[in-house]
Amino acid sequence: MTAGVNPRVSGILLHPSSLPGPYGIGELGREAMRLLDFLAGAEQRLWQVLPLGPTGYGDSPYQCFSAFAGNPLLVSLDLLVEQGLLGAEDVKGTSFPEAEVDYGAVIAFKQPRLRKAYERARKMPDVMERFEAFCGEKAAWLDDYALFMAVKEAHGNVAWTDWEADVRSRKPRALQRWGKEKAEAVRARKFEQYLFFSQWADVKKAARDRDIQIMGDIPIFVAHDSADVWAHPDLFRLKKDGTPEVVAGVPPDYFSATGQLWGNPIYRWDEMAARGFGWWVERFRATFEMMDRVRLDHFRGFEAYWEIPAGEKTAVNGKWVKGPGAALFEALREGLGNLPIVAENLGVITPEVEMLREHFGFPGMAILQFAWGSDPQGSTFIPHNYPRKLVVYTGTHDNDTTVGWWTSGVGDSTRSAADVERERDFARRYMNTDGKEIHWDFIRTILASVAELAISPMQDVLGKGNEARMNLPGRPGGNWRWRYAAGELTETAKRRLLLYTQTYGRGRPYGAAPQA
């Protein structure tokens, strides 16, 4: 934020895949700029996104093929047409659902066009010069990622543990052979990354020009089927065949009576510590080159994480194991300085977790949907108990929308019917509402709080029901699909959000003239 801006600010949570557009998924083009204009007009000072990596299993941004790469599906095709990398005829005749992402259809449509853009770029010396410079700058992760994706494609996209033993175990001759045989496929994958990072740089500049920060998301774990694990197997607890010994998850919670079995491999924290946590330092460095702030997902796992034997069908039979604790964050601070990190301190939180967070001065999170029930942290989610140094949400990507939460039954959580009714009654009394505009009641309540940052999912600003839910933890498919339509960012919604933002001191004072 620029000097003089009130530190109590507000923002919107929206993943770029949820932007509207004609090509089946949100892109980093005109609609991203329109969103930034909407946010600026409503005096929102932050746009929060989910992880931006190339999605793999279940289309989840928390299960990516790389912790460093960008998602090429977000590349704007219209911008490629403007650059002459595609012809107008290449993008005509599309027909995709407007309200959701059909990932299979989007991949089938966009991949050939991204490859065609690469083929055209090869005849453009100025583009290739910038591309070669990009490859040099990002070589530390880009070489492994591009080769991983090319070999994966050649194997019908099966997991790397199902490849031939020599390339699976990264024998030098095998890597050399595959690199030579798939040289053009490798370069095409690199070019996709060049396009993504070029367009993202324009989005970030546009945000900065509007005095808007972008907050990204670093998941604590990475996907097993990823370039990270394939390229650095010694940093993960794997068997000789490359499959995990143990996997990550969380014990039974609000969302599931059997816990959440994520399946991510567990780090060899001892080996990472012996190397000065260099992989983590570079991961944070790369993320902060793209973002102004970062939400650190599952922060409690750095103090202790839920470890589950590989092969278990649920997360019930796990155990808590100590994580790296302060040593990791000391290494990050030594390598990168003090970082603007938000700690996602939800779930089973212990005094040790809070001591770690407070020691490094990271603000925690509160979720208003969790304020009304029996959650162990419930009292800390009630607005009159908020500290100033806090990031508060109506709900997150893992919650139902506020309207969906208000109108749903018990099927989306471990609550009973009586629990649901008690929560609604408490919320009615606390916010003095009849619930007819429950989404605005929630937004107004978090904006009125003392918390330094208040964030609302776009679904709540638009008053969407549970058809717009982004993710239901534990559901294997059907997540991460929601999109809004081009005409839904209305002037009425912007003015109402602006009114509340100004009224509660998160923008310019209500009634004050805008700055020239």
482 DSSP 8-state letter: B
The catalytically annotated residue of 144, 253, 297, 460 is 297
The catalytically annotated residue of 102, 202, 312, 398 is 398
357 CB neighbour count, 10 Å cutoff: 23
Residue type at position 66 = S
User: What's the distance, Cα to Cα, between the start and end of the chain in Å?
Assistant: 17
Q: Is 434 a catalytic residue?
A: no
CA atoms within 13 A on the CB side of 415: 21
Q: Is 282 a catalytic residue?
A: no
Residue 311 Cα distances to 225, 321, 448, angstroms:
16, 18, 47
Q: Is 398 a catalytic residue?
A: yes
Specify the DSSP element, H or E, that contains 103: helix 103-121
Q: Of 27, 3, 24, which is closest to residue 203 (Cα–Cα)?
A: 27
- How many Å separate Cα 97 from the centre of its chain? 23
- Paired with 343 in beta bridges are 296
For the record, the structure tokens of 429 come out as 């009394």
Q: What is the rounded distance in angstroms from the CA atom of residue 189 to the CA atom of residue 142? A: 9
The three-state secondary structure class of 454 is strand
Q: What is the rounded distance in angstroms from the CA atom of residue 496 to the CA atom of residue 440? A: 9
- Paired with 46 in beta bridges are 11, 213
Q: Give the contacts of 454 (CB within 8 A, at least 6 positions apart).
A: 8, 9, 10, 11, 391, 392, 393, 446, 447, 506
The catalytically annotated residue of 344, 412, 423, 452 is 344
- Paired with 319 in beta bridges are 307
Residue 287 Cα distances to 277, 294, 341, angstroms:
16, 8, 11
The catalytic residues are 297, 344, 398
